Homo-oligomer: A and B are copies of this chain.
Amino acid sequence: MTQPVNNLKAWRHLEAHAGRMAGPENHLSKLIAAPNRLAGFSASGGGLFYDFSRQRVDADVMATLVELAGERAVSRCFADMVNGEIVNRTENRAALHTAARDFSGRKITVNGVDAAAELSRVNAEVREFSRRIHSGELTGTTGKPFRHAVVIGIGGSYLGTEFVAAAFAPAADKNIRLHFLPNVDIDCFGSLVQSIDPESTLWIVISKSYTTTETMANEAQALAFLRENNLDPKDHIVTVTAKGSPGDDPSKPVLVSFHMFDFIGGRFSVTSAVGGVPLSLYVGFDRFERFLAGAEEMDNHAASAPPEKNLPMIAALVSVWNNNFLGYPASAVIPYSTPLSRLPAHIQQLYMESNGKGVTQDGHPLNTASGVIVFGEPGTNAQHSFFQLAHQGRHFPIDFIGVIRPHFESYRNRSKGVTNHQELWANLIAQPQALATGKADPENKARHFSGNRPSSTLLLNDLSPENIGRLLSFYEAKTVFEAFIWDINPFDQFGVELGKTMASDIRASMVKKNENPEHIIDDAGHIEKAYLDMLFGGSLKA
C-alpha cells in the first residue's frame, strides 16, 4: 500500500511552512519586493513562460514541494503513463493521450497492441478524409460540398475541441463552419438546425462506446432530420468510436468510422481523432498536426525537465500548496485573449473530473482534500464581472494567461495613447500585482485592499497551433501531476454513475407513461413523482 500523502515527511514540513507563510513578514507585497523575485520564481520551457512570483511561496516552500514530488515519485508515475503502463488501475487501462502526439517513432505497446501505430494509422485516415472533403471529392447526397460540420458528442467528446476550435477560429479558412450539439436538450438541436443547410452538413458522432445516452438521442434526431430531407446517412454521417462499437457496424453504414481507443479517456482526447476529425475539417490537417507537435514539445518538457524547472510540475505543486496547505477551495483560469474563451470550461472538466476524487488508487479514503473548483471567463471581461470579490471578498488563486502577439496585430489605432492589445496587457500586468500588493486605506475601509491574493501568469508567444497544443499539454500534465501526489486515479470517473442509474429509473417511469397516458406513476419517490407530474401535465403545480 502506498503511504498516505499526509504521512510523508515533506507534507509535514509543508504544514509548518504554511504557518510561517501566514505571517505578515511573508505578505506577498513583501515577497515580491525582492529584486530577484521574478528570476527566482519563474521558468521557461516547452515553449511557454510561467511566472509564479505572485504565489505565496518562498525558496524553502518550493524546495519542500519538490521534495514532496520526489517522495511521491511523480516523475516516474508520469513516465509510466507515457510508456503505456496500466496507470488507470480501477479500469485496467493505460492512459496514452501523449502517444497521440508522439512523433518519435518509438513503439508503445498496450495489451499487445502497438498504440502509437494505431494512432498514427487513424491520423493518416483523418488527413486523407479532410483532404477529400476540402477538395470537394466527397459531397453530400445531392452533390453539394460540405460547408457545415456538426459535432454530436458531450463532455470529453466536445469541450476540448470547442476550446481549440475557438482558439483557431480566426485562422479557419476551409469554408466550413463548425457547430456543437452536446446537450440532449431539444432546444440545442432545434437552434442548431435553424443555422445549417441540410444538404451541405456533415455530422460527426463521437462516442467511444456509442451508447452515451445524450449522444445517441441526438444521433437519432440527426438521422430523422436526414430522412426528412431525403439525405443518406452514409453520405452525411461519420463516427469517431471504438472499433466494433455500435457506431462501427457495417450493417449501419456511415461515410467513415474513425477509431478511438480505451487507452485515451474523453477529457484527454482532443489530440486523438476526437479532436482530429472536426479540427482538421475546420482548419486543415496541417494545422491540427502543428497543434500536436506543440503538445508533444510540452509533453517532452513535462517528462524530462527537472521538477524545479518543469512548468506543469511547478504549477501542480503550487496548486497542491494553495489547496492543501493554504486552504483555497477554488481557482480561476483567466485568459486575456478572446480566442481562449472556452479554455476555462475545458480545464474545468479536465481538472475537476480528473481530480474530484475521494479515494486513493488502493481504494482507501483520501484523508486530504483533492481537486478544487475551477472556473473562469476571459479578461478583461472578468475584471468587470467577479473581480470585485477577488479583490475584496474571499480569496482564490488565479491563473492569468497572456498572449504576446494577438491574431489581429494589424489594428493599431490608439486610445489613451495605447493600442487595444497594449491596453489588454496593461490590465494583465496590473491585476496580479494589485491582488498581491493590495493597498491600505485606514480612512475608508470600503477602499481598503488587503492584498496577499496569489496568482500565476502563463505566457504564450502567440495563438499559433503549436502554442495551443503546448497550453493543452501544460494543463493535462499539471492535472495528472497533482493526482500522482495525492495517489488518486485521475483517469476514471465513477462519480458520474449514480446519477446515470437514477436517471435510468426515472426514464423507465416516463416510458410507461409514454406507452400508456393513463398510467399513474407509482414507482418513484414523492419528490420525483411531483416533477414527473408537472412534466407530463405541462405546467407548474398550482
Contacts and interface: CB of A to CB of B under 8 A. Distances in A.
A49 B426 CA distance: 46
Interface stretch (A268-276, A279-287, A288-296, A414-422): A414-422
A327 to B, nearest CB: 10
A190 B358 contact: no
| Residue of A386, A417, A426 contacting most chain B CB atoms (<10 Å) | A426
Contacts of A530: 38
B154 A499 contact: no
Contacts of A371: 389, 393-394
A198 to B, nearest CB: 15
Contacts of A191: 169-170, 338-339, 407-408
Interface string A417-445: 11111111111111101110011000011
A488 to B, nearest CB: 10
A256 interface: no
A379 to B, nearest CB: 8
A402 to B, nearest CB: 8
Interface string A37-67: 1100000100011010110000000000000
Give how many copies assemble into the complex: 2
B427 A380 contact: no
Interface string A439-458: 10000111111100000010
Given A430-B506, A499-B431, A221 B394 contact: no
A13 to B, nearest CB: 25
A534 B404 contact: yes
A522 interface: no
A352 B385 contact: yes
Interface stretch (A209-217, A244-252, A310-318): A209-217
Contact of A459 (B356, B501, B540): B540
13 contacts: A32-B525, A155-B383, A156-B384, A169-B191, A191-B407, A220-B414, A352-B393, A356-B392, A359-B446, A387-B496, A417-B511, A423-B507, A457-B531
Q: Shortest 3 CB-CB distances between A and B: which pairs?
A: A356-B389, A155-B384, A190-B408
